[in-house]
Structure 1
Amino acid sequence: MAHSLESLVIRHTHRLPSPKGSAGDGAGAARQFDAALTSVGFKLSAELLERLSGLSEAAVVHLARRTLRIVSEMVGDHVRHNSYFIDFPANVPDTEAFWMRCVAQALGDEKSRGTVLAQLAHGALDLLSLPTYGRYQHTYEEMIAAQDELVASAGDRVTVLHLGRDLEEELTALYLTLAGSTTPLGEDDLRDLKALAERCALGPQPESIPVRENRAVINEARIAIGADLLLDTVTDVLRLACALSGGDVTLREQTRFRALSRPVRRALLAGLDAVVAANPAKLADVHAHREPFKRLGERLHPHEYPRWPHAADAFAVARGEKVARSFESRLEKLLDEFDVRGAVRLLESAPGRLFRALDLLLRIATDEERDAVVAAAVRVAPEVSGRVVLSVREHFHNRERETDEPRVFVNRRGRGWVAPDVRPPVAAADRDRLIGALDAEMRRRLPAPRRLLLDPDVLDVALPLSGRATAAGLGVLPRGSLSAVDGEQLRFFVYWKETEQRTDFDLSALLLHADYSTDSWLSYTSLTAVGGQHSGDVTEAPEGASEFINLSLDRVRSTFIVPQVNIFAGEGFEEVEESFFGFMLRDGRQKGRPFEPRTVRMKSELRGAGRVALPLVFRRGDDGRWRAKWLHLYLKGISAANRVEENQMSVSKVVRAIVEREQLTVRYLTDLMSGDTTTVDLLDGGPVPDEPVMYIGLERPEGLHPDSQVITLENLRDLIPG
């Protein structure tokens, strides 16, 4: 258990909890540990190396083994990455010549000859019927022996592991950070919070837990130890019941409620009763989730507990036996009557809901009414969460650009689609007043550090307004972020391992012109297009499988490169035992295996609703330099046989909608923070200041003053004010 908790700390903070062990001369073992880390793109900070050197050799070796397992998994090196073509990227054949070779080999095999001849007689051939197609023809060890050794490059990734505090202190700090997050967490982070809550529920707690899903998993841990529950809405109780049944606390998916023990039923009913007794108007919130409440009532048996009548009222509302007029129904009536002023008065009691309705209100209001709408928004702005303020600020910034670009929609599970934008414009004066007011509100909430130290590479990272706009992994940026791509060879990879049925993932790359029309593609049907190479089609993965695409960026003449993972057959991204995507960068002289962990720039888990994954897009600028824009999208696709040739139009539309949209970035917040009393420095490779700073960057540099506030990718959400 301690080892898994240690893994949480390393993955989330890139800190190694303060090592324990007997004193001794572990300097040699520490240097060997550091060298072993280098092979997977990590290294020890000077402070951590010094601490390890003072421990015994046995203690260092024990720690090194644990840590190497953790970081190897972070970068995707915990599995064996084989390639269908043993020499990849060298000697990749022409597609048709390769297929003909497979046919010739099948005709020479007595077992397959008859089947192949029969197919050829009918003018169609199933590649899967060829014995040598889609299945590795060599072992992993044979592939390794055929590859040249990787030559180290100054451009290889180096991720520094820093010295942390004691494990208990690190776990408490991580728990407080995740529990008190001002933005929703992704599924993996929510799972980590659950593990931490089970350990930290009786310890220090954050001042507030603004995200309801976080509150649900914390309440699950609290109910197990008999602690008071954190409930202030009826939906909090429903989410907790979902957590206790192993269901979805986001309420996106239907939960099958389990039979609950009598003490748990009493705790839920007592909590629900207290919420409604304190504010009977909250009964109206039941309408949003009537069916789940009805099913929950069947499990809780509220009629057996007459001492909690207010709890019974909630289930009566769900069954339609008691009237509780919902907020939404009252608002809908006012909007149907075009009573904008009445709608605004109602919405002022729910500031967040008012902000989400601003665009609609401004479109249907008269000139005088628009003034009232904007004035109300300015009045309630201090009561709206920072995440919502920033989301609305980004929304109106993009409304300013009157173009024919379609709207892109992305649901909570990453499913993306586009639709024509048929909304009338918002008046420029109203938009500008709102933007100015929202900027002022953000400036008021943000800290004014005496000294701000910035890594320039972080400035174009999109603000993480939701943990669901990214994916778990290493070097992963939020959707809409821009990052430089510095390297001559760009290589994508996908790995998957099926759970039960034969599963075939296909890695492809769609190349688009500047107008988003198709130029060409690389896939199993086009192995060597545009001077690139595909590693070969693998059609099953009982022991795990990998596919790669290699591109020389100086040979690509297209404007966009869109890697994608298509599910051709079998299990979905959320059904396979494991699946992840990433990319590597190498200089032109570097050889090495198809997968070399220290060249990996990004590795992200593939877990989304859809049959086509679009992790990111690469765009060549007018200066000839390439940059990545992060997508984290899934398209619905079709149930089987998804191929780049068939989905190129839908992919192009979604990519265009995301690329043309402008996100609020870290630069926006740091500009607001850079007031008259703040000194702003850019990290330029020189020594860091010897005084406390607020540092914002992709990774923590060495030598920062211990009293510095540090914001990196791992805790970027802390930038978002509450």
Structure 2
Amino acid sequence: MLEKLIIGKTLRVPASTGAAGDGTPVARQLDAALLDAGFSASQPLLEHVGALAPAPAMDLAATIVSAVRELVGDHVQHNAYFIGFPHDVPDTVEFWTQRLRAAVLAGGGTASDAQLRDAVVSGGVNLLDLPGYGTYQHTYADLLAAHDALIASAGDRLTLLRLGDTAEVEATRLYLAMAGSTTPLGEADLALLSQLAVACVDGAQPAEIPVREHRAVLNGVRLVLGRPLVGVDTTTDVLRLACHVSGGDGSLATPTRFRSFRRPERRILLAALDKVVGASPAKLGDVTRHAEPWKRLGERLHPHEHQQWPHAREVFAVARGERRVPNLAGRAEAALRAGAIAPAASVLSAAPGLLLRSADRLLRLAPASERATVVEAVTGALGSASARVLCSLREHVGNRLTPASARMYANRSRRAWIGPDERPPLPAGLVAELSALLDAQIGARLPQPQHPLLVDPDVLDVALPLSGKASAGGFAVLPRGSRAPVSGELLRFFTYWRQTSRRTDFDLSVLLLDEGFHTAGQVSYTNYHHDGIVHSGDITDAPDGATEFIDVPLTVSAPYVVPQVYIYSGESFDEVAESMFGYQTRTLQQRGAPFDARTVRVRSDLRGQGRIALPMVFANGERGWQAVWLHLYMQGRPNFNRVEENMFTTADRVRAVLERRYLTVSYLIDLWRARTEVTTWDGRLPDEPVTFIGIEAPGDLPDGSETYTLDRLSELIPG
């Protein structure tokens, strides 16, 4: 249902067009139900529900409650293996010995305690064969009955829901914002964009679609529905579109198996190719970069059957090698191999974005006699490249004064590799010069706010969302490198998964690191206790869903706490029916069930390539405990992944993210200070309209105010 998606994305509730009446009792019930989930309804929203007839009021209330419960992970039952968790969790070896004793007694045998413990410690025990191991021994109702109700705390989360316009207006507004975003969307948002594109296909369209992957999503809908394509101006746009509608990777990072296309679809694709190449034959140079996909696509499109589009046939001739067309990247690479750095920069000047992405390499390789020419070429490209590229380069050069302890490579699927940083640092004077030029160019493109800026200090450490690929879907999820303050006295991590068709065992673990990023301990299914940290017990099968918890008191001695999710066996993160990670914060005195939506601070989808997920790290420093987003996956082994076997690789990746200086919202705020009034939000409401930038907007800002919260932070990055 589109309304639920809009609520989950924007925290705005589309207004119902149902009949008027007295829905006051429903509004009261809605208010109570939302509070139980850690949400509250604004007064206009409650008044709107109360003014509806009972039936539409109930429909709207049910939609709202369902949407917010899914948002924080409260739509499933989070049972724990040990019913008394976090209390009454036994010593790990003692528990295994108990299970082994039950197995021996069931077989009519006898064994001493010493023999059983030796069998456990030696590793000669298959845990999955032990009676009662890895499966719930009680129902979810039993768990709730064993725990008192949650003791409310002033620090519990309360997220405000606002009343929006009608579903049609809200869908159009969100569609235009997402389709016209200057930064690439993540997988979850691309899926939402596709649904919005279907609903808005005949309505208002964005004036510009800067991100080509977004064009592929929109044109995929338009191709299937027989509408004219939009924004196709390169041959690669057509290839992306064909991959997307075939259920493949529109980013072209992984191979796609093309589907059969209907004759009208083949005509649309070939006509688009013919138009692009006919207008600019030089764009045939892009074809060789993806020659193999083009060959396979040609087998599906049958271009030889359509003589009316000769330029389209040239695309496949180039892909087959029957015609050679030099491309810009190839010419630049040839110049670099020949040591002609300045000429290579001159060639790349025709593609400002590509030149700026290559700037570090050019500046490192350029001899002193050519460096000024390269700097001049880079400077000349600043005015033509997108602001996202400028921001990416600004972040990059800010990290090039000294070599990194390790160089991390993260791809679009958030898979991470680590290698040594063998690049020589860039000269400090050059870094300062480039930084100043970039600051001036980015600052000049920032829009002038209509009202004074009011800034929530908690948003200042949020990394600029330069790519949705460095994030994930969920609730209160921030881009990689973002930092958020942690309140409360206790962290409770949780992971939930539900397998699709075969037995699947996810394992929630915690790795502790010291100041030098060396291992200081771990908690997992092999070690239930360490330094006050407690594991809830191992679940090894999840046909109806399963949850594992780990409690971490913030008095823990290690400065870095790294929660991880390992796939021990079974389906991958992309194959399971559902999987998530999140954390709650509580006081040490708070009781209640292991999971309570009111204490959930973050819930993140676990969808990625790899068998090990590193969603975030918690760091204790001068500013107290902070949550730092990682959004990384490691390949791991096909089965039997364990925290003990990945301590060094995990530590390297954590260190690489923590030591990197990310471009944050505070960077843009500092640029704005030069030309507009900026005030820090202290909880007091302003008297006049403001432009508010923060994690969550206050409830009663003056009329005419504009808000930029988590769902709109990408709009702060200019085009």
Please say whether Structure 1 and Structure 2 have the same fold, judged by a TM-score greater than 0.5: yes
Q: Distance in 2 between matches of 1:523 and 1:321?
A: 58
RMSD across aligned positions (CA): 1.8
Q: Distance in 2 between matches of 1:498 and 1:27?
A: 41
Per-residue CA deviation, residues 389-422 of structure 1 (Å, 9 max, x unaligned), is: 101100000002x145111110110011211111
Q: Write the mapping of 1:539-688 to structure 2, written as runs, cut at 5 A.
A: 539-554=540-555, 556-622=556-622, 625-676=624-675, 678-688=676-686
Per-residue CA deviation, residues 644-675 of structure 1 (Å, 9 max, x unaligned), is: 11111110111011100010000000110112
Return closer, same or farther for 1:403/1:323 CA change in 2, 3 Å cut-off. closer
Q: Distance in 2 between matches of 1:123 and 1:172?
A: 59
Return closer, same or farther for 1:111/1:698 CA change in 2, 3 Å cut-off. farther
Give the residue type in structure 2 aligned to 1:491: R
Q: Do structure 1's residue 6 and structure 2's residue 28 form an aligned pair?
A: no
Aligned to 1:527: 528
How much does 1:113 deviate? 8.4
Q: Do structure 1's residue 308 and structure 2's residue 305 form an aligned pair?
A: no
- Is the CA contact (8 Å cut-off) linking 1:106 and 1:113 kept in structure 2? no
Return closer, same or farther for 1:220/1:95 CA change in 2, 3 Å cut-off. same
Q: Distance in 1 between matches of 2:167 and 2:14?
A: 5
Structure 2 residue aligned with 1:87, among 67, 84, 87? 84
- Is the CA contact (8 Å cut-off) linking 1:175 and 1:197 kept in structure 2? yes
Q: Do structure 1's residue 195 and structure 2's residue 195 form an aligned pair?
A: yes
Give the residue type in structure 2 aligned to 1:334: A
How much does 1:125 deviate? 1.2
- Is the CA contact (8 Å cut-off) linking 1:112 and 1:130 kept in structure 2? no
How much does 1:154 deviate? 1.3
Aligned to 1:718: 715
Q: Distance in 1 between matches of 2:466 and 2:491?
A: 29
- Is the CA contact (8 Å cut-off) linking 1:472 and 1:605 kept in structure 2? yes
Q: Which moved more, 1:23-32 or 1:635-644?
A: 23-32
Q: Distance in 2 between matches of 1:123 and 1:140?
A: 32
Structure 1 residue aligned with 2:64, among 47, 63, 67? 67
- Is the CA contact (8 Å cut-off) linking 2:49 and 2:61 kept in structure 1? no
Q: Do structure 1's residue 248 and structure 2's residue 246 form an aligned pair?
A: no
Give the residue type in structure 1 aligned to 2:640: A
- Is the CA contact (8 Å cut-off) linking 1:287 and 1:318 kept in structure 2? yes
- Is the CA contact (8 Å cut-off) linking 2:409 and 2:416 kept in structure 1? yes
Q: Distance in 2 between matches of 1:628 and 1:120?
A: 36
- Is the CA contact (8 Å cut-off) linking 2:489 and 2:588 kept in structure 1? yes
Structure 1 residue aligned with 2:94, among 86, 93, 97? 97
How much does 1:36 deviate? 0.6
How much does 1:119 deviate? 7.7
How much does 1:55 deviate? 2.2
Instruction: List runs of 5+ in structure 1 lacking aligned partners.
Output: none
Q: Name the count of aligned residue pairs.
A: 713
Per-residue CA deviation, residues 1-38 of structure 1 (Å, 9 max, x unaligned), is: xxx11012101110001123232332332122111101
- Is the CA contact (8 Å cut-off) linking 2:523 and 2:533 kept in structure 1? yes
Q: TM-score w.r.t. structure 1 length?
A: 0.96
Give the residue type in structure 1 aligned to 2:682: D
How much does 1:622 deviate? 3.3
How much does 1:253 deviate? 2.0
How much does 1:61 deviate? 2.1
Q: Distance in 1 between matches of 2:310 and 2:550?
A: 63
How much does 1:720 deviate? 1.1
Aligned to 2:420: 420
- Is the CA contact (8 Å cut-off) linking 1:448 and 1:674 kept in structure 2? no
Aligned to 1:211: 211
Aligned to 1:278: 279
Q: TM-score w.r.t. structure 2 length?
A: 0.97
Aligned to 1:164: 164
Q: Distance in 1 between matches of 2:702 and 2:291?
A: 53
How much does 1:343 deviate? 1.1
Return closer, same or farther for 1:290/1:706 CA change in 2, 3 Å cut-off. farther
How much does 1:59 deviate? 2.8
Give the residue type in structure 1 aligned to 2:148: D
How much does 1:225 deviate? 3.6
SS, match of residue 240 in structure 2:
helix
Q: Distance in 1 between matches of 2:575 and 2:99?
A: 31
- Is the CA contact (8 Å cut-off) linking 1:106 and 1:132 kept in structure 2? no
Aligned to 2:692: 695
Q: Do structure 1's residue 443 and structure 2's residue 443 form an aligned pair?
A: yes
Q: Distance in 2 between matches of 1:426 and 1:162?
A: 49
Give the residue type in structure 1 aligned to 2:686: V
SS, match of residue 243 in structure 1:
helix
Q: Write the mapping of 1:65-464 to structure 2, written as runs, cut at 5 A.
A: 65-110=62-107, 124-230=124-230, 231-400=232-401, 402-403=402-403, 405-449=405-449, 450-464=451-465
Q: Distance in 2 between matches of 1:101 and 1:496?
A: 27
- Is the CA contact (8 Å cut-off) linking 2:194 and 2:218 kept in structure 1? yes
Q: Distance in 2 between matches of 1:113 and 1:503?
A: 33
- Is the CA contact (8 Å cut-off) linking 1:374 and 1:433 kept in structure 2? no
Residue identity over aligned pairs, in percent, reads 51
Q: Which moved more, 1:50-59 or 1:428-437?
A: 50-59
Q: Distance in 1 between matches of 2:653 and 2:504?
A: 26
How much does 1:47 deviate? 1.8
Q: Distance in 2 between matches of 1:404 and 1:436?
A: 22
- Is the CA contact (8 Å cut-off) linking 1:522 and 1:532 kept in structure 2? yes
Give the residue type in structure 2 aligned to 1:90: H
- Is the CA contact (8 Å cut-off) linking 2:509 and 2:550 kept in structure 1? yes
SS, match of residue 438 in structure 1:
helix
Q: Which moved more, 1:217-226 or 1:592-601?
A: 217-226
Structure 1 residue aligned with 2:34, among 33, 37, 45? 37
Per-residue CA deviation, residues 683-722 of structure 1 (Å, 9 max, x unaligned), is: 211123432x211100121122343222110121111111
- Structure 1 stretches of 4+ moved >3 Å: 110-114, 116-123
How much does 1:133 deviate? 1.0
- Is the CA contact (8 Å cut-off) linking 2:198 and 2:221 kept in structure 1? yes
Aligned to 2:478: 477
How much does 1:71 deviate? 0.9
How much does 1:532 deviate? 1.5
SS, match of residue 663 in structure 2:
coil
Per-residue CA deviation, residues 553-610 of structure 1 (Å, 9 max, x unaligned), is: 12x0111000000111111111111100000001122111111111000000001111
Give the residue type in structure 1 aligned to 2:327: S
